[in-house]
Every structure is written in C-alpha cells, then in structure tokens.
A = this chain, B = another copy of it.
Amino acid sequence: MKPYSEFTKEELLAEKQSLEEAYKEFQKRKLTLNMARGKPSKEQLNLSLEMLTDVNQDTDMIIEDGVDVRNYGVIDGIYGAKQIIATMAKSEAEHVIVFGNSSLNVMFDTVARGMVSGYGGNTPWYEIKDRKWLCPVPGYDRHFTITEFFGFEMINIPMNEEGPDMDMVEDLVSKDPSIKGIWCTPKYSNPSGIVYSVETVKRFANLSPAAPDFRIFWDNAYAIHDLYEEIALADIFGYAIPKGKQDMIYEFVSTSKVSFPGSGIAGIIASQKNLDEIRAAMAAQTIGHDKINQLRHALFFDNGRHLADHMKKHAEIIRPKFEKVEETLDTELEGLGCGTYTKPRGGYFITYVTNPGCARRVIELAKEAGMTMTGAGAPFPHKNDPEDSTIRIAPTFPNLEEIGVASELFTLCVKLATVEKLLK
C-alpha cells in the first residue's frame, strides 16, 4: 500500500469513511481495555506467591547476629536483601542500602534530602532559586513529577538510539552549576526501550559537572527484565571509580516487577561516602524498613541466585504480548507512513511515534472506543510533548486476547488520526 501522504484528497476521504465505519464497529463492542500503566499481570504476580508462606514460624525469624526480623533495627537492610539488590545491579552487598517497597519513594526522599540538607556539605538546593534538572525525553512521568514537585526547571534532552544526547548533556552540566541532576533509565528506557550504549555510559561516568553536588539518578528499573537474551548494561561505577567520580552516581533498583509491585523491596547502590551520608539521614527518618519482607525475598530468591530463572518465567508470560502488539503494528501500518515504533528487547513499554500533531487525537479516539492509554504528553515534563507525537504502549497487564483487540483498535486510531490530520 502506498503512504497516506501520497493519497489524493478523494482517496483520503474514502479511506476516512472506511476507517470511521470500522471505528464505529469497535465502539459498538463496549470494550474496556487498558494499555496505560506498566503493571505486571496476575500470572506474573502468581510466580512469587510461594514467598508469602516462606517466613511464618518463630524459628524462621532469627537471622545473622541473632537479629529477630520482626523487631526494630537493622536500618540499612539485612544481608540477604542487600545481596538481591546487589545481584540485580551487578554490584556487591557492601555498596547497597535496602529500603521499603518503592524505589520511587527512595528517589523522592533523595531529592528531598538535597533540597533540605544538601549533598556533601554543599548548599541545600532549596536555596538555589534557579535549580535545574536534565530530563531525557521521552522519559518516565513519575520522575518528572518529583522534580516538578521540588520546583526544578526541567530541561528536555533528546534521546537517540544510544541514550540521551551526550553532547548536550556534557555541554550543559559543565557550564551551569545550577543543574543538579539528570534522570536516567539506562536499560530498556521508559518508554522507548533503548539500552544506553557503552559509549554513553562511559561519557556519563566521566562527566565533569560545574556543580559539585550534581548527581546522576541511575534508575535501573529494568535491570534484569530481559524479554529475550540477557543484554548487559555497561557498568557505570566501573568506569567512574578509576576517575574518582563515583560520588556523582546514585543507582536505584527494586523488585516491584520481579516479585510484587506493592510489596517488593527497593535499594540504592552508591559510593561509601554517599551511603554514609544517606544512613545518617535515615537515622533521623526511621528505625528500619520491613525486614520480614526482606527475609521473604532473601529466601525465595536464594539471596539473589534464583533471580535469573525467575525473570525467564516473567519473560515467557509477557513476550507473546509484546510480539502480538508488534505483529499487529507491522501488519496494519506498514508502508502507510503513519509513524514509527520500537521493538524493545526488554522492559515494559513499546513507544509509538505518530506524525507530528497526532498523538493526542489517537489517545482520544482510543478512549472513546473504551481503551485507556497513557495520557498524551506523559513521557515529557509538564506533560508537554512539543511534537504531540509520542505514545507509550504498556502491553503487560491485559491478557493476550485483549492485547490482540487493543492492538487492532490502536492501529485503527492511528490510521484515522493520520488521515484526519492530512485532510486538515
């Protein structure tokens, strides 16, 4: 089929009428579909059910040094939980602090600490009135919500096939001491699925920021979430340490999409200097996180040794869903010039990029036919997609049959929005 851009006006009008008829058929089906959020499906949650009965006896509760995991104490996490976080990040337990159920919460608290206390004796960010943060786009909406909450001016950094535009990052951070951080999802980036190249990771590790308290927030959310073969992310600490730049990096991981999204464990990986500073603030904040849950994870994943096998089971469940979406996009949209899309090797999202000015309309059309998608603009700071073209597709939660229907409806909405735009 030839691209819509080569259609005559008459051909476009005929196509529009035909698409609208198909769309009305979808509307008649009163569908309720949701491709909005990156939530594991019920089948995935069931993979970890056994964990919940692993720790239930008095005698299960005593760990190293005679600690009873039910009681107060052990502020930075039990050894087995540190091992899990370390395994996910290809690090060592000594470089890890374990927190509660949410790495997002840890990131929020970490920025909050920069605001009120400052890092490494530097001026608290509250006092930096023109404080700024670099935001590779498209990116994760909840990252941007945090820096918006704390009043940062957010600067968009375009993503390419190797990660964020490093020329731009290097240039900005080396000149402007009010730039205090950058959000990164280096492996299977949310939402584009890109894995940062070795060169990109090296350049991050070697940044020379004007701000002494500049930090790379390395949100390794999909560290072990491969859909096919394992893809290794380059080791940012490995490159940073020989240059003495390890204090510039906070790495975050969690088991939210390994065990349970609401009831996993989260951790930070950082330099000893940074860990000491974090522990000092934690001592005022809490007496400790949920160690029974840490122990459940340690036993179920054998201190991290069972993670790889477990993630293969996740992949077997969700890979067919990704492939169903991709197959439908290929079949329905090839050659029409309606946009481009990614075929990620892991993570939780497919990104569809429409022609400029069509994304909002696609999402609106989907909604009016009963399908919720991630809100227009969500992958950008302030929900402002300058091209109105990026759509995040989250295929993990619905079942395969629903994914089939949803994908067909999605391609129909893309075609209709594209034709409408050409007719304007």
Residues of A that sit less than 8 Å from B by CB: 37, 39-40, 42, 45-46, 49, 52-53, 55-58, 61, 68-73, 100-102, 104-105, 108-109, 112, 115-117, 124, 126, 142, 145-146, 148-150, 256, 260-263, 281, 283-293
Asked, given contacts A52-B56, A71-B261, A145-B283, whether A290 binds B292 with beta carbons under 8 Å apart, the answer is no
20 sample A-B contacts, Cβ–Cβ < 8 Å, listed by A number? A45-B68, A49-B57, A52-B292, A53-B56, A69-B262, A70-B262, A70-B263, A72-B256, A73-B262, A100-B101, A102-B288, A102-B289, A108-B284, A108-B286, A109-B285, A142-B287, A145-B284, A146-B284, A262-B289, A263-B290
Given contacts A72-B262, A285-B108, contact A290 B100 (CB under 8 A): yes
Q: Which residues in B have their C-beta under 8 angstroms from that of A61?
A: 45
Which residues of B lie under 8 Å from residue A73 when comparing CB positions? 262
Q: Complex: how many Å from CA A289 to CA B256? A: 12
Q: Which residues from B are CB-within-8-Å of A281?
A: 149
Contact A72 B39 (CB under 8 A): yes
Q: Of all chain B residues, which has the CB nearest A149?
A: B284
Closest B residue to A46 by beta carbon equals B58
Minimal beta-carbon separation of A45 from chain B (angstroms): 5
A145 to B282, alpha carbons, bound, how many Å? 11
Please measure, in the bound complex, the distance between the C-alpha atom of A289 and the C-alpha atom of B149, giving whole angstroms. Answer: 20
CB distance from A48 to the nearest CB of B (A): 8
**CB contact between A45 and one of B71, B108, B148 (< 8 Å): that residue:** B71
User: Is B289 touching A101 in the complex (CB atoms < 8 A)?
Assistant: yes
Contact residue among B42, B70, B293 (Cβ-Cβ distance under 8 Å from A290): B293
15 further A-B contacts with Cβ under 8 Å, apart from A52-B56, A263-B290, are: A42-B58, A46-B58, A49-B56, A53-B53, A53-B56, A71-B262, A72-B262, A100-B100, A102-B286, A104-B286, A115-B115, A116-B116, A145-B283, A262-B289, A263-B292
Task: Please state if A116 and B126 are interface contacts (CB–CB under 8 Å).
Answer: yes
Measured between C-beta atoms, what is the minimum distance from A40 to chain B in Å?
A: 7
- Asked if residues A287 and B70 are in contact (CB atoms below 8 Å), the reply is no
Instruction: Knowing A68-B45, A146-B284, say if A116 contacts B108 (CB, 8 Å).
Output: no
Question: Chain B residues near A116 (CB, 8 Å)?
Answer: 112, 115-116, 126, 150
Cβ contact within 8 Å between B260 and A292: yes
Q: A45-B71, A52-B55, A56-B52 are in contact. Are A287 and B104 (CB under 8 A)?
A: yes
The residue in chain B whose Cβ has the minimal distance to the Cβ of A108 is: B285
Instruction: Report A88 CB to chain B, min CB distance, Å.
Output: 19
* Distance A402 CA – B2 CA, assembled complex (angstroms): 87
Contact B70 A261 (CB under 8 A): yes
Complex alpha-carbon distance, A109 and B109, angstroms: 9
Measured in the bound complex, the distance between the Cα atoms of B113 and A285 in whole Å is 13
